[in-house]
Amino acid sequence: MKLVLAGIFVLALFASSLGAEREDESDRFTESDLPSLKQDPAGSSEIDEFARARGFHYARDTRRAARGDFKALKKFFEIAHDADGAARESIAGVPTAVYHLLGDEKLAQFLAGQPVAYRMMVRNLILGDGRIPAENMQFSRDFPESAPLLFPRELVAWFSPNDQYAIRKVFSDPFVLAGSKVVRAELIEKQSGKVLCDLTPDDIGTGADREGEATWSPDSKRVACLSIDLPDQPGHLFSNPRPPVQRKQTVVYQLAGDVFARVELSLGKAPGQDNDPELKGASPGHIYTEPVRWQKPNVLVLRRHEYYGVKKPMTIGGQTFETIADLARQYQITATVEPDGKGKAVWKLQPDR
């Protein structure tokens, strides 16, 4: 009996320590973790300059963001996402402090008012910044209202301009983003939930960008659905085996009676590539086909960017080596959709930038 009681006592202490650990994790942030308002004698830092160029006073406005100023909060996350180089190093860890100080209720209220693409940007940013794997469920315990907005199992969004249609997606795992896939994608009637088109066969959404995007025509009769699969590419583009190609894919659907149907567009291989001598033997790294805007209700402008590795000889000191060089192709595509569901795509090769 004494042994049983002792065991219970030890387990209670262990559970208590775990609870304290979790509490400490969520409560350990203070305003001292935010950028200092004191002027640095050495002058402005890279992140100060980066933020200032975007109309954001880094120290002052970050504190406003952490206190619940949603305008400042939106700009803060955008700057944290866009910062690079030394500016990125300076801001590392600050997003984690900001959302902890903000708290679950305010963070959820802020996220609920943002489009899907922005919410997913925030999700990927804070995961990387805090270096906490989503699968440990810590975030969902500490932020139960915000977690469903950032890690949905099922998502209904991308409403049509006339508010009659929406897109519903279901994911294989809400929290483990690596390898998580779209297992069902449907265009639905918003009010009834009736499925008007099964988008699943065309949706390649996988990983941190699995949600993708949708761009509706202004008359709500067509939608361009972007799905994204950006797998890791270990080694280089000529490794054996070759790394998988990163893809962004766009498929267009048009209202046909009471349902939507896929529009047949030639968005596969760019015209003239078979006769492009620079692409001979090239290894593709990524192929991105993304909608830009609806020029007219039935005319969609898209951007296509392709990146390749090509082998080229280089001679140094009389010796010739084989090197891998970068090669890119960029196109503007104008796609016209006819009432019968057929489409025509006109490709225009853009100059190198």
Q: Are residues 63 and 132 in the same domain?
A: yes
Q: Are residues 292 and 342 in the same domain?
A: yes
Residue pLDDT, tens place only, 190-249? 999 999 999 999 999 999 999 999 999 999 999 999 999 999 999 889 998 999 999 999
Q: Are residues 73 and 133 in the same domain?
A: yes
The stretch 164-179 carries a mean pLDDT of: 93
Decide the pairing of beta strands 222-229 and 213-216: antiparallel
The pLDDT of residue 140 is: 85
Which of 87, 122, 142 is the last residue before a domain boundary? 142
Confirm whether 62 is domain-assigned: yes
Q: Are residues 78 and 161 in the same domain?
A: no
Confirm whether 1 is domain-assigned: no
Which of 80, 110, 142 is the last residue before a domain boundary? 142
The stretch 81-97 carries a mean pLDDT of: 93
Confirm whether 244 is domain-assigned: yes
Percentage of the chain beyond pLDDT 90 is 69
Q: Are residues 116 and 178 in the same domain?
A: no
pLDDT above 70 for 309: yes
pLDDT above 50 for 22: no
Sign of CA dihedral 66, 69, 73, 76: negative
334 φ, ψ to 5°? -110, 115
The pLDDT of residue 130 is: 54
Q: Are residues 71 and 172 in the same domain?
A: no
User: Over the range 87-98, which residues count as b (16 or more CB within 10 Å of their CB) and which as e?
Assistant: beebbeebbbbb
The pLDDT of residue 78 is: 97
Q: Are residues 115 and 169 in the same domain?
A: no
Confirm whether 2 is domain-assigned: no
The pLDDT of residue 14 is: 37
Q: Are residues 204 and 286 in the same domain?
A: yes
Confirm whether 8 is domain-assigned: no
Q: Are residues 87 and 220 in the same domain?
A: no
pLDDT above 80 for 16: no
**Which residue bears the tokens 């994790």?**
25
Q: Are residues 127 and 160 in the same domain?
A: no
Confirm whether 25 is domain-assigned: yes
With a CB cutoff of 8 Å and minimum separation 6, the contacts of 231 are: 206, 207, 243, 244, 246
User: How would residue 274 be classed by pLDDT, with cut points 50, 70 and 90?
Assistant: confident
pLDDT above 60 for 72: yes
Q: Are residues 29 and 136 in the same domain?
A: yes
Confirm whether 147 is domain-assigned: no
Confirm whether 84 is domain-assigned: yes
The structural domain count of the chain equals 2
Q: Are residues 58 and 207 in the same domain?
A: no
Which of 110, 142, 174 is the last residue before a domain boundary? 142
User: How would residue 2 be classed by pLDDT, with cut points 50, 70 and 90?
Assistant: very low
Q: Which domain holds residue 70?
A: 21-142
